[in-house]
Amino acid sequence: MPATPDLDTHTVRLASPDLLRSVFRRHAAGVAVITARGESGPVGFTATSLSSVSAEPPMLSFGIGTGASSWPAISGTDHVGVHILGEHQQELAATFARSGADRFGAPTAWREGPEGVPVLDDVLAWLVCRVVARVPAGDHRIVLAEVVLGDPAGPGRPLLYHQGRFNGLRD
């Protein structure tokens, strides 16, 4: 067994943000797009921080940076859309991840869904959720949301994010 350094938890300094980024590049994560209705139209962003939180009540969480262009809408909305992307949607994921992109212009296919939430077409699954909390977490907020309704029946396989790239599953 390799020796581990003896860590005195009272004197340990926090690691650099680069260490966290480097480690999480090695962590494969599912890709989602979060959407909301903003004051001047729909907003959305690509998220790899989506997590199931509770079955009773059905609840999930995701993180968003407070400097993100979607944050003003997410910070004030009552409902969000959560979309699980398929491996055929690498371009869509890249569009919603790119700063300054026209995320809801062609070729993005979407419609206004329940509670006015933008719902993306052709995804593996989508949910409309009611925001119940926004928890401060450094330069981000963790949004907790209860699932109101959705559709889990889209065809295909999930899109993953790993080593800074969007990928499909390999058999």
- The string of pLDDT tens digits covering residues 85-100 is 999 999 999 999 999 9
Instruction: Give 100-149 as a 3 state SS string.
Output: CCCCCCCCCCEEECHHHCEEECCCCEEEEEEEEEEEEECCEEEEEEEEEE
Span 22-61, pLDDT tens digits: 998 889 999 999 999 999 999 999 999 999 999 999 999 9
Span 98-140, pLDDT tens digits: 999 999 999 999 999 999 999 999 999 999 999 999 999 999 9
Q: What is the pLDDT of residue 55?
A: 96
Mean of pLDDT values over 17-22: 89
How do the residues of the chain divide into helix, strand and coil, expressed in percent and rounded to 5?
A: 15, 45, 40
Q: How confident is the model at residue 2 (pLDDT cuts 50, 70, 90)?
A: low
46: nearest Cα among 87, 103, 2: 103
